[in-house]
Structure 1
Amino acid sequence: MKRRTKIVAVAAAILLTLGAGGVAVASGDDVPAPAAVSEAAALTGTAKLYRPAGDDITFSFDAHLAEADRQDPMKATGTFRFSHYKGDWGGYAKVKVDCLTTGGKVAVVSGVVVETDVKEFKKARVGVTVHDDPAGDRLGYTWMTADPQKDKVPPCISGAPFEKVKEGTGDFEVVPWEFVYPTE
């Protein structure tokens, strides 16, 4: 075998081995990249809701529960955002995540609004439920039945995913959480 062919074969074997082990190497520097943080649960992605009247409603999620915190979903981190506009009316909110649970392809995330231009949402805890379904993603939220200024929403609580996601916009990804039950 020619030297060049051997080098390519060895390099391919090393890359396959590293890829299988979850290790990445930064290109160009030959310096290993930091290992990816193992996650116990996650909710990421963006979608627009379906509204026949033309409302522009968008939800974006970047919520994570580290493997080290598997048993405590209230140690989740990240943010999520939502906005609702129609014509020259509307508003947005940015939420700091305070809880994340997932089961299969369903996620419930809650948090406290840290930035908004809608007075009813200032400093309110809100929750959102996402169903990551190949047949059509769905979404639900607490303010459908709860007033964000009066009703105190507990962490990790939200409504059933009753809203349809606009076709072609949903790219949600749910990493399923598995609670580890004590054996004694």
Structure 2
Amino acid sequence: MDRRTKIAAVAAALLITAGAAGSATASGDGKGGVREATASGDGKRGVREAAALTGTAKLYRPAGDDITFSFDAHLAAKDRNDPLAATGTFRYSHYKGDWRGTAEVKVDCLATGGEVATVTGIVTATDVPGLLHKRVGVSVYDNGRHDRLGYSWLASDPTKDEVPPCNSAAPYERVRAGTGDFTVLPWRFAYPAE
């Protein structure tokens, strides 16, 4: 094979490889990929959901508190302009010595932007007096190695104060090293046409 043929073959191989890599990015990895379409279990392509927050992490607390947050919140593509149509659940628990507090929450709003998500919901099960049927909110910063989290009860009592949908404190708490696996799917909403 002469030199020009070898160069053409290598260039063609590089173009094919670059095209395959571009297709993988278009299907998305959750960290800046486009994720326009996702493959379903049957091999068919599906429409990307409008937003999502999933994963579990423990908060960093040097005093030994065991605090865990888990999320499975989604906004369907058909509801992309209505964050109040979000579905799913999130849970949190806080244990320290003999004290404990847990809650299961039904999602009622989800908004994401870049690597940040804010989710609220109504408490459906808890062992905290006065918290049942109250709205709580949590925010997450998903930056891979150093995830962060915030919650609406930072500056208010969730058993007494009303939390508006999709509201929480900034994600100020550190996640314990090695425990954060949050995934934030950035919100895709339709801008009004001019």
CA distance in 1, matches of 2:137, 2:103: 12
- Is the CA contact 2:38–2:48 (under 8 Å) kept in the aligned structure 1? no
- Given candidates 83, 95, 98, the residue that maps to 2:93 is 83
- Is the CA contact 1:62–1:78 (under 8 Å) kept in the aligned structure 2? yes
Q: Which amino acid aligns with 1:175?
A: L
CA distance in 2, matches of 1:24, 1:122: 36
Q: Which amino acid aligns with 1:103?
A: G
RMSD (Å) for aligned C-alpha atoms = 2.0
- Given candidates 79, 82, 101, the residue that maps to 1:72 is 82
- Given candidates 119, 133, 143, the residue that maps to 2:129 is 119
TM-score, normalised with respect to structure 1: 0.81
1:33 shift after superposition = 6.6
Number of the residue aligned with 2:111: 101
Provide the identity percentage: 63
Number of the residue aligned with 1:183: 193
TM-score, normalised with respect to structure 2: 0.77
Unaligned stretches of 5+ residues in structure 2: 1-19, 28-36
CA distance in 1, matches of 2:111, 2:86: 9
Q: Does 1:138 align with 2:148?
A: yes
Deviations 1:132-161 (A, max 9, x none): 012400000000111112111000000000
Deviations 1:113-172 (A, max 9, x none): 000011132111000000001240000000011111211100000000010000000000
The number of residues matched between the two structures is 161
Number of the residue aligned with 1:42: 52
Instruction: Detail structure 1 runs of 4+ shifted over 6 Å in the superposition.
Output: none
CA distance in 2, matches of 1:51, 1:168: 14
CA distance in 2, matches of 1:148, 1:23: 40
